[in-house]
């Protein structure tokens, strides 16, 4: 972000957005979400190991950010560290809840359940994975790597733009067109 001749770092931008959110600025909240949501989603996916639960947790994390923005103190921690801490603590709370929700009988039932996939289910899953990999190869190495980094590892558009040394809007276009190509390729199969 450029304010006249002053160039703000990513940390300064996030801190500024949090300060505005403390004043209930919805536009700043939307901007913070677009700058940080993919990264936080990646963190939550890694911690919770369940994509659906991570999606739910992500929404709850942003509710907490909205509610607690007035408690952010710029001198105590970096803005992204504060945002990560909220996400991490929320994920830990969810993991603790998971552990207390089960009883020994539930654990035994899970142990006794036959979770093995049938040969047919394994074949379908293997075929789908092969189809996705085939379509990813059609994108080309750079674009396939960018798609994996964005949607599987949680990198933001800005981080990918910096990584590949291309303009931010070009990265957005790459990812949008790559997803469209993947969808079309998968529909052909």
Q: Does domain 2-101 have CATH number 3.30.390.50?
A: no
Instruction: Write the CB contacts of 22 (distance below 8 Å, at least 6 apart in sequence).
Output: 69, 70, 72
How crowded is the C-beta side of 121, counted as CA atoms within 13 Å? Answer: 4
Copy the structure tokens of residue 185. 């390729």
Inter-axis angle of helices 168-188 and 157-164, to 10 degrees? 100
Strands (E) across the chain are located at 2-3, 6-7
Mean pLDDT of 7-31: 84
Rounded to whole angstroms, the Cα distance separating 181 from 41 reads: 24
Non-local (6+) Cβ contacts of 92 within 8 A are 47
pLDDT above 60 for 130: yes
CATH 1.10.1740.10 in the chain is located at: 2-101
46-70 per-position pLDDT tens digit: 989 888 999 999 999 999 999 988 8
> Closest Cα partner for 72 from 108, 21, 31, 37?
21
Nearest to 34 by CA among 14, 20, 54, 51: 14
The structure tokens listed for 55 are 């999606």
DSSP code, position 74: T
Architecture of domain 119-188 in CATH?
Answer: Orthogonal Bundle (1.10)
pLDDT at position 31, please? 93
Which regions of the chain carry the CATH code 1.10.10.10? 119-188
Identify the residue with better confidence: 1 or 117. 117
Q: Is the pTM of this model over 0.75?
A: no
Q: Kind of pairing, strands 6-7 and 2-3? A: antiparallel
In which residue are the tokens 């300064």 written? 12
DSSP-based three-state secondary structure for 77 = coil
The whole-angstrom separation of Cα 37 and Cα 19 is: 18
Q: What pLDDT band is residue 113 in, cutting at 50, 70 and 90?
A: very low
């Amino acid at each position: 972000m450029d304010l006249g001749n002053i160039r703000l770092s990513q940390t300064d931008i996030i801190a500024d957005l949090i300060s505005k959110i403390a004043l209930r600025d919805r536009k700043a909240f939307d901007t913070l979400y677009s700058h940080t949501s993919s990264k936080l989603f990646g963190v939550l996916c890694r911690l919770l190991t369940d994509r659906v639960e991570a999606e739910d947790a992500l929404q709850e994390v942003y509710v907490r950010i909205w509610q607690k923005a007035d408690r952010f103190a710029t001198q105590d921690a970096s803005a992204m560290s504060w945002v990560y801490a909220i996400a991490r603590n929320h994920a830990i709370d969810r993991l603790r809840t998971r552990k207390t929700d089960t009883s020994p009988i539930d654990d035994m039932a899970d142990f006794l359940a036959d979770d093995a996939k049938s040969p047919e289910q394994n074949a379908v899953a293997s075929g789908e994975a092969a189809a996705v990999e085939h379509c990813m190869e059609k994108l080309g190495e750079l674009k396939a790597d960018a798609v994996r980094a964005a949607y599987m590892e949680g990198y933001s558009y800005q981080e990918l733009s910096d990584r590949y040394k291309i303009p931010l809007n070009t990265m957005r276009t790459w990812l949008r067109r790559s997803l469209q190509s993947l969808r079309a390729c998968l529909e052909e199969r």
